[in-house]
Amino acid sequence: MHRMTRFILRRLLHMVPVLFGVTVVVFVTIKLIPGSPIAGLLGPGSTPATRAELINRLGLNKPIPIQYFDWLRSTLEGNFGTSISFQSSAGTLVFNAFRNTMILAGAALILALVGGFVLGAIGALWPKGMAGRVTSAISTFSLAIPQYSAGLLLIVLFSVDHTWLPSGGMHSVTGSTGFADLLRHLVLPALAAGLAPIGVVARMFRAALLDVMGQEFVQSMRARGLRRTTIIRHAIHNTLPALLTITGLQIGYLLSGVVFIETIFSWPGLGQLVYGAISARDLPLIQAGVLISAVAVVLVNVIVDVAHGFIDPRVRQ
């Protein structure tokens, strides 16, 4: 396990420069704001003196790198700035919303992985059957169906004429907070967010399983007299590294998609928060949301990398 510890530490170290870069990018978007950033903060009757005073107070006369490190320090202290539209801490708003987003994205990810696994396995184990062709057709078109279209389609199918499933919110207006109620509200948005990834995962997993099944050690297992089910089990074990990589790829896609899904389904998560912030031009809120999402993606990928090390001993080297 000594080697494993070192492996994990190395992955964590890799993360540092990426996180550093992420903060730089977010800082740059702040600096991109056209016009003077203080124009909006100053009242109409401001004098050059109050103006100079404000610039001084906000540190805007300092060199850009200093401004960056000042901003980074306050960000690291958990101060993401103040939301213009809510007049409260952007960090708190974003963190609270992110919890709901994780529920939605997590459900969509599970759907994508389970659905993609089943479809991909069918496609790989019976490659000449209908299933194989259907999965490849699904995934060719899946990327062309944006989550917002999928979401609207699901609402039209399940919520407009028949109120089979709720099309908005996380909980019923009756104030029920039960788990079953949450699940009912989760079905459509999770499906809309996970639809395209199901096809993508199916296709990638199918390719990975076919690749493993064609390798010599699988043939050797047959020569050792192992049952087909046992062989398939070992083969699937060998696709886990690929599955992990696939999972990592989906995270960014899902976190992008939830902006639309949450808007359409009124899911009180980060995406809806960001959507509201766009029309309010609430930039601190948007920046906090984007920063949190990017950090989440980086963290997920570190977890994926570490899990990779646990599954595949060759990676730990």
Q: Exposed, middle or buried, 188 (CB in 10 Å: 0-12/13-18/19+)?
A: buried
Which of 93, 104, 113, 200 touches another protein by CB under 8 A?
200
Q: Contact, 117 vs 204, CB < 8 A?
A: no
Q: Does the footprint of another protein cover residue 208 (CB under 8 A)?
A: yes
Which of 54, 148, 165, 266 touches another protein by CB under 8 A?
148
Q: Contact, 104 vs 261, CB < 8 A?
A: yes
Which whole-number Å values give the CA distances from 93 to 70, 89, 207, in the listed order? 22, 7, 42
Closest listed residue to residue 272, CA positions, set 253, 255, 287, 259: 259
> Cα dihedral angle (227, 233, 236, 241), rounded to 10 degrees?
-130
Q: Does the footprint of another protein cover residue 22 (CB under 8 A)?
A: yes
Q: Does the footprint of another protein cover residue 294 (CB under 8 A)?
A: yes
CB 254 to another protein: min, Å: 8
Q: Which is nearer to another protein, 69 or 141 (CB)?
A: 141
Q: Which is nearer to another protein, 170 or 300 (CB)?
A: 300
* Residue 158: φ, ψ to 5°: -110, -15
Q: Does the footprint of another protein cover residue 273 (CB under 8 A)?
A: no
Which of 253, 268, 269, 309 touches another protein by CB under 8 A?
253
Which of 93, 113, 255, 273 touches another protein by CB under 8 A?
255
Closest listed residue to residue 112, CA positions, set 237, 288, 247: 247
Q: Does the footprint of another protein cover residue 17 (CB under 8 A)?
A: yes
Q: Which is nearer to another protein, 131 or 246 (CB)?
A: 246
Which of 68, 86, 95, 275 touches another protein by CB under 8 A?
275
Residues 159-198 that bind another protein (CB under 8 A): 160-161
Q: Contact, 91 vs 288, CB < 8 A?
A: yes
Q: Does the footprint of another protein cover residue 264 (CB under 8 A)?
A: yes
Task: Please count the other Cβ atoms lying within 10 Å of the Cβ belonging to residue 141.
Answer: 10
Q: Which is nearer to another protein, 10 or 178 (CB)?
A: 10
User: Which listed range, 51-59, 61-69, 83-91, 303-311, lies at the site for another protein (CB under 8 A)?
Assistant: 303-311
> Cα dihedral angle (221, 225, 230, 233), rounded to 10 degrees?
10
CB 314 to another protein: min, Å: 5
